[in-house]
């Protein structure tokens, strides 16, 4: 395939590591690249340091064309010192050119011939020259000799729009340090190859060791006797004070923090569960606000990444009577969205007793999506229960993409929270005479489609913004039973986070072996009580939830098990 400068950057950002090869025997070029591809690496920089480099590039290009190597395998020519070398390398099949330093003649040749060029820089002068030419992805070389991560951090500070590929002295011991820098999209190194033709398993072992997590595998959860872990973003919420005040007219804001997974963990922490939150919040006052909110709720913050960046924000205009609430998001470019996959996998706790996520997390960035997939696979492999609240957000991605990404994640999990929109996103439509019966049927079909242990949903009726009604339904695959509650009608102080509390209640009840109907009543009670609490995170006790769960529905209707 034909790569542009932008598509090369995107591929390298996903790869995170590009092997640097100095080929002394052209016959070894393809076998070495096959070993790299077998270890999950999809690119190679072949340096022009030897007389057979051009032939080696040509052989690898033919292997790609013949289907021996993946069609998206990227070949870059490195150590290019002249326009003549650039012409030879690209004629042989190189998709991009890398030079050890900035070369104005290479800039001109590559521009005239539509060839992506990535110059090496080690000083502000070189970087300034590159930026003036419109180049925003550069090689930092020689990385270790030029001062390592400290020098790169200082060099990148005045150039916020520039991304770097450090090369030179990158190894198993320092790879993660470089990748932890926000300005670094990938690193170049030769440590994974050794001499001769490497064994793919050995290449994979070295790469996994360097990433510290198994880049091509999963984070190694050491056991399933740990806390309930959640992976997601926490944001700051700003809302005008009580009463009907539009955002444009607000002079002050109420401030709180929350997020789907954080809210769920806060509920479980209040009920005595040990919890651990995997997230990223910036250094400084905004990040401290989020950390303080988590600590007040009793949520573990040992896996929260702290570094420079911004905290996502959302604005809430509360509705009144028949006028609904309105939400405005300002989360693009947040620290969470810009955190790399290797950082996420390194942050995952060693032990985890239950793993929870929402459909929001994989929509926030490709890195978060990749890390989430790795964590879910590891949890399933280790026997750790997994739960998901689909929680679809149309502002983040399309239904088609959401369904494609989430399908393998929810396959075979223990608990899934859905709603009518989420079910239809996967082609599931419940049948029944009313919304509750249709939701119950959708849960049954959804659970069967994805082999899920329990699938639950709530059905809401909005009388006014201050008065709502809720029913809950759940299908249990082990017993083949579906339970449904009658409607609970209640007053609303703050609706945000109520669905997260329903999910948290189902997790709590399932971990304690509650029967289907008891679990559903308890989870619905958690959802109802959250409506009485201001802010995103719940502020009530286990006794409060139990009091509502045990309270009569008022019409003598105690719900039913729907057997099929």
Q: Which of 449, 446, 421, 448 is nearest to 435 (CA)?
A: 421
Q: What is the rounded radius of gyration, in angstroms, for the C-alpha atoms of the chain?
A: 27
Write down the residue that tokens 């950057």 correspond to: 9
The 3-state DSSP class for residue 561 equals strand
Single out the catalytic residue among 139, 318, 380, 530. Answer: 139
Cα–Cα distance, 368 to 150 (Å, whole number): 26
Taking the mean position of all CA atoms in its chain, how far away is CA 179?
16
- Cβ contacts of 544 within 8 Å, gap of 6 or more: 529
Single out the catalytic residue among 13, 15, 45, 261. Answer: 45
Cα–Cα distance, 88 to 113 (Å, whole number): 13
Q: In this structure, are residues 386 and 379 in contact, taking their beta carbons and an 8 Å threshold?
A: yes
What's phi and psi for 196, nearest 5 deg?
Answer: 75, -155
User: Rounded to 5, what percent of the chain is helix, strand, coil?
Assistant: 40, 20, 40
- Does the active-site annotation cover 45? yes
* Helix residue spans in 123-199 (DSSP H): 124-132, 148-156, 175-179
Angle between helices 53-65 and 83-92 (to 10 degrees): 30
CA atoms within 13 A on the CB side of 48: 24
Q: E-strand spans in 336-478?
A: 354-358, 386-389, 415-418, 454-464, 467-476
Helix (H) or strand (E) holding 388: strand 386-389
Characterise 284 by phi-psi region: left (phi > 0), alpha (psi -120 to 50), beta (else): left
The residues carrying an active-site annotation are 45, 139
């Amino acid at each position: 395939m034909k790569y542009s400068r932008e598509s090369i950057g995107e591929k390298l950002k996903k790869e995170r590591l590009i092997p640097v090869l100095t080929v002394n025997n052209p016959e070894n070029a393809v076998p070495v690249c096959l070993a790299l591809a077998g270890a999950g690496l999809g690119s190679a920089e072949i340096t022009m340091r030897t007389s057979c480099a051009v032939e080696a590039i040509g052989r690898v290009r033919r292997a790609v064309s013949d289907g021996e190597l993946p069609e998206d395998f990227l070949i870059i020519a490195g150590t290019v010192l002249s326009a003549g070398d650039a012409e030879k390398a690209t004629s042989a099949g190189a998709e991009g050119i890398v030079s050890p330093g900035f070369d104005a003649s290479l800039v001109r040749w590559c521009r005239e011939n539509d060839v992506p060029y990535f110059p090496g820089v080690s000083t502000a002068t070189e970087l300034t020259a590159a930026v003036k030419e419109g180049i925003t992805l550069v090689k930092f070389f020689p990385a270790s000799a030029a001062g390592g991560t400290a020098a790169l951090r200082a060099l990148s500070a005045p150039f916020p729009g520039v991304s770097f590929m450090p090369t030179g002295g990158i190894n198993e011991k320092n790879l993660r340090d470089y990748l932890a820098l926000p300005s670094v999209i990938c690193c170049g190194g030769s440590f994974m190859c050794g001499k001769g033709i490497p064994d793919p398993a050995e290449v994979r072992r070295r790469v996994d060791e360097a990433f510290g997590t198994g880049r091509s595998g999963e984070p190694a959860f050491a056991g399933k006797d740990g806390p309930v872990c959640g992976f997601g973003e926490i944001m700051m919420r700003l809302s005008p004070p009580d009463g009907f005040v539009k955002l444009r007219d607000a002079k002050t804001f109420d401030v709180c923090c929350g997020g789907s997974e954080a809210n769920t963990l806060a509920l479980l922490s209040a009920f005595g569960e040990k919890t651990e939150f995997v997230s990223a919040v910036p250094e400084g006052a905004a990040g401290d606000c989020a950390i303080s909110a988590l600590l007040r709720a009793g949520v573990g913050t040992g896996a929260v990444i702290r570094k420079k960046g911004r905290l996502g924000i959302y604005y809430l205009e509360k509705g009144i009577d028949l006028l609904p609430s309105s939400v405005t998001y300002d989360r693009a470019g947040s620290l969470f969205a810009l955190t790399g996959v290797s950082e996420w996998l390194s942050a995952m706790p060693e032990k985890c007793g239950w793993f929870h996520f929402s459909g929001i997390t994989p929509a926030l960035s490709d890195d978060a999506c990749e890390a989430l997939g790795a964590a879910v696979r590891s949890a399933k492999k280790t026997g750790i229960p997994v739960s998901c609240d689909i929680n679809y957000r149309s502002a983040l991605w399309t239904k088609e993409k959401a369904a494609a990404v989430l399908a393998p994640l929810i396959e075979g999990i223990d608990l899934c929270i859905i709603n009518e929109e989420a079910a239809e996103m996967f082609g599931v439509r419940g049948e029944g005479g009313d919304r509750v019966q249709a939701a119950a049927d959708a849960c049954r079909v959804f659970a069967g489609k994805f082999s899920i242990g329990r699938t639950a949903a709530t059905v809401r009726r909005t009388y006014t913004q201050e008065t709502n009604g809720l029913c809950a339904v759940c299908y249990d695959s082990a017993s083949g039973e579906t339970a449904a509650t009658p409607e609970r009608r209640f007053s609303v102080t703050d609706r945000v986070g109520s669905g997260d509390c329903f999910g948290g209640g189902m997790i709590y009840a399932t971990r304690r072996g509650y029967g289907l109907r008891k679990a559903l009543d308890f989870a619905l009670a958690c959802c109802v009580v959250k409506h009485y609490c201001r802010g995103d995170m719940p502020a009530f006790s286990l006794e409060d939830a139990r009091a509502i769960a045990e309270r009569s529905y008022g019409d003598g209707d105690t719900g039913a098990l729907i057997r099929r």
